Amino acid sequence: MDLVEIWRNTLLELEVSISRANFTTWFKNTFILDYKKGVFIIGVPTFFVEDWLRKKYLDHIKKALANQSGAEVESVKFKIATPSPEQVVISDKGKFIHSPVDKPEKKPEATFGKTLPQNSTLNSYYKFANFIIGSSNQLAVAAADAVSKKPGKVYNPLFVYGDSGLGKTHLMQAIGNHIVERDQDARVLYVSSETFMNDFISAVETGSGRAKDFKNRYRSVDILLIDDIQFLSGKEQTQEEFFHTFNHLHQNNKQVVLTADRFPKAIKGLERRLQTRFEGGMVADIGTPDLETRAAILKQKSKAKGKEIGDEIINYIAENIKSSVRELEGALTKILASCELRECTPTLEMAQEILGGIIESSNKLITPDSIFKEACKYFHISKEDLLGRRRTKELVVPRQVTMYMLRHEINLSYPEIGREMGGKDHTTIMHGCKKVEAQMSQNPRLKNDVNLVKEKIHNT
Ligand code: ADP
Ligand code: MG
């Protein structure tokens, strides 16, 4: 039973229901100290935290632990203890540590600058060899493969975008690992754009010596891999610095690879000149994998964990969990963990029992209100504006996308949509839906908007 992984997944589940500020305050530096016979012992930093968690979140924690471990949870106890570095899931700074890759970020002081061991930010698990190719990621893999063979020469930059959990980080690091394998001296730097920003800020704050270190760190590499660039949206100074870093590397034929959750032009708050630069190389998307690919991924993951698991179960998971590879993997882990605990081999019945809850929630009921909510969030507009009558350009597209969703996701008729959308005429609705349908194939931006809103509707 991987207690760190279980706690990480538990916290990811809890994070959704607890406000961000509270969440960090109460859960940083907590960890699973022990699990025995239905009792989880959670290590906490102080009595104060212990008290608070017990009073406020005990039921939440118990439920999430049961969900994530697949184990019976009789009780949850607390004990004051300090986690080892491997056990930390949320660091002092409130950062979620998702994988060993993220760990160097915990101590920017120590890793910053020249002392950084080369290529240390790559996770050796992320290889091309264990990345399953399907129609959803074919183009991105082909581009990544080409870049890894001729860095700086074919597509520069390479920009890979797609929803969360579909393999962007894996693919990006596979490029890095491949290059390092072939050339030990290649300087590959993988960082999240958040780390880039934090490094930049600490360089500025601490003055010229650090600023030099910063430039050294980022401009002396052969390959720069920057993950989740959408995070820089609205961060103007960091963008400015990134622009110069990018130009410096690009001019010297050094490879830059970027990922984001959407394509460059769709990242609001990202400077135009950066968008243009990003589009100047190769832009490739990763979509949701089809059934066959999902099954192949599950097979490969169970093999990697040294566990054989029957086709029946693989197909059951693959048919029911569709939106992200990360979730697919989570489901598999849950089943395997539960089997380990019960000391049995997985059966279909068990898989159904364990995944029942997750599957139900992913097939949840979609309502006009949930569509409005996600559309408003995605387009950054209010519900009044969405349903209102003002006909400015910023509102027309969100409105039409919403009409399209009501039509295609819950099959409402044009007059019904008209009523739901604040009393609009059915011809207006028909026009809106048809327009989206017609333009989707020609307008990648619109297609991207539609896909992302759809994803949110189904998954939040
Ligand atoms: P993203 O960065 O897009 O959010 P990740 O790269 O972190 O997604 O992928 C999430 C998990 O899914 C990782 O464990 C990764 O190894 C796995 N994964 C995603 N796509 C594939 C694939 N095509 N083949 C094998 N594993 C995959
Ligand atoms: Mg990622």
SS (H, E, C) 34-83: EEECCEEEEEECCHHHHHHHHHHHHHHHHHHHHHHHCCCCCEEEEEECCC
Distance (Å) from CA 128 to ligand 1 centroid: 11
Q: Specify which of 82-91, 209-218, 261-270 reaches the highest per-range mean pLDDT.
A: 261-270
- Planar angle of CA 164, 166, 171, nearest 5 degrees: 115
Query: 331 alpha carbon to ligand 2 midpoint, in Å?
Result: 18
Position 116 scores a pLDDT of: 42
Separation of alpha carbons 454 and 289, rounded Å: 16
Q: Return the bridge partners of 192, or none.
A: 227
Q: Are 263 and 447 in contact (CB under 8 A)?
A: no
Rounded to the nearest angstrom, the distance between the alpha carbon of 302 and the centre of ligand 1 is 14
- CA 406, CA 415: separation in Å to the nearest integer? 11
Q: What is the pTM of this model?
A: 0.61
Question: What is the tally of helices (H) and strands (E) in the chain?
Answer: 21, 8
Q: Where does the pLDDT of residue 230 fall: very low under 50, low under 70, confident under 90, or very high at 90 and above? A: very high
Lining ligand 1 with CB less than 6 A are 130-132, 137, 162, 164-170, 297, 325-326, 329
Strands 158-161 and 31-36: unpaired
Q: Pick from 126, 326, 452 the residue to mutate for probing ligand 1's pocket: most ligand atoms within 8 Å of its CB.
A: 326
Q: Please report the atom of ligand 1 found closest to the CA of residue 300.
A: 25
| Nearest ligand atom owner, CA of 228 | 2
pLDDT of 138 over the 90 cut: yes
Residue list, annotated binding site for ATP: 165, 167-169
- Position 108 scores a pLDDT of 36
Q: By alpha-carbon position, which residue is closest to atom 14 of ligand 1?
A: 326
User: What is the 3-state composition of the chain as percent helix, strand, coil, each rounded to the nearest 5?
Assistant: 60, 10, 30
Ligand nearest to the CA of residue 164, numbered in listed order: 1
Q: Which ligand is nearest to the CA of 326?
A: 1
Instruction: Kindly give the distance from the C-alpha atom of residue 124 to the centroid of ligand 1, in angstroms, as a whole number.
Output: 14
CA distance 332 to 342: 15
Which fold does the domain 302-362 belong to in CATH?
Helicase, Ruva Protein; domain 3 (1.10.8)
pLDDT at 117: 46
pLDDT digits (tens, 9 = 90+) for 63-99: 999 988 888 899 999 988 888 777 888 877 677 776 5
pLDDT digits (tens, 9 = 90+) for 298-341: 999 999 888 888 999 999 999 998 888 998 999 999 899 888 88
* CA nearest neighbour of 278 among 223, 226, 201: 226
Which helix (H) or strand (E) segment is 260 a member of? strand 255-260
Instruction: Give the ligand with the smallest distance to the CA of 301.
Output: 1
**Helix, strand or coil, per DSSP, at residue 283:** strand
**176: exposed, middle or buried (Cβ count in 10 Å: 0-12, 13-18, 19+):** buried
What are the φ and ψ backbone dihedral angles of 39, each rounded to 5 degrees? -115, 120
Q: How far is the CA of 162 from the centre of ligand 1 (A)?
A: 11
* CATH architecture, domain 3-87: 2-Layer Sandwich (3.30)
CATH architecture of structural domain 368-459? Orthogonal Bundle (1.10)
Domain 111-285: CATH architecture, name and number where available? 3-Layer(aba) Sandwich (3.40)
CA distance 457 to 330: 21
Cβ atoms of residues 1 and 43 within 8 Å: no
Q: 307, 148 in Cβ contact below 8 A?
A: no
How many whole angstroms from 197 Cα to the centroid of ligand 1?
24
Strand order in the sheet with 255-260: 188-192, 223-227, 255-260, 158-161, 282-285
- Residue of 170, 227, 257 to mutate, ligand 1, most atoms within 8 A of C-beta: 170
Cβ < 5 A residues, ion ligand 2: 168-169
Find, among 35, 32, 22, 121, the residue nearest to 74 by Cα: 35
Q: Look over the chain and give the mean of its residue pLDDT values, rounded to a whole number.
A: 87
In the chain, what are the domain boundaries?
A: 3-87, 111-285, 302-362, 368-459
In this model, does residue 218 exceed pLDDT 90? yes
- Model confidence at 216: pLDDT above 90: no
pLDDT (tens digit, 9 = 90+) per residue, 239-265? 999 999 999 999 999 999 999 999 998
Query: Ligand 1: which atom is nearest the Cα of residue 137?
Result: 23
- In ligand 1, the atom with minimum distance to the C-alpha of 172 is 6
